[in-house]
Amino acid sequence: MKRHPFEPSRLISGLTALALGTAYDLDALGLWHAPGPWLFLTLPAGLLLSGITAAIWNRTRRPHHPPTDATYPKGS
**pLDDT at position 62:** 75
Helix (H, G, I), strand (E, B) or coil at 55: helix
**pLDDT at position 30:** 94
Per-residue pLDDT of the chain (76 residues; tens, 9 = 90+): 888 888 999 999 999 999 999 999 999 999 999 888 888 899 999 999 999 999 999 888 877 666 666 565 665 5
Task: Select from 56, 39, 58, 46 the least CA-distant residue to 15.
Answer: 46
**pLDDT at position 35:** 86
Task: For residues 18 and 24, give the distance between their C-alpha atoms in angstroms, rounded to a whole number.
Answer: 10
Question: Which pTM was predicted?
Answer: 0.73
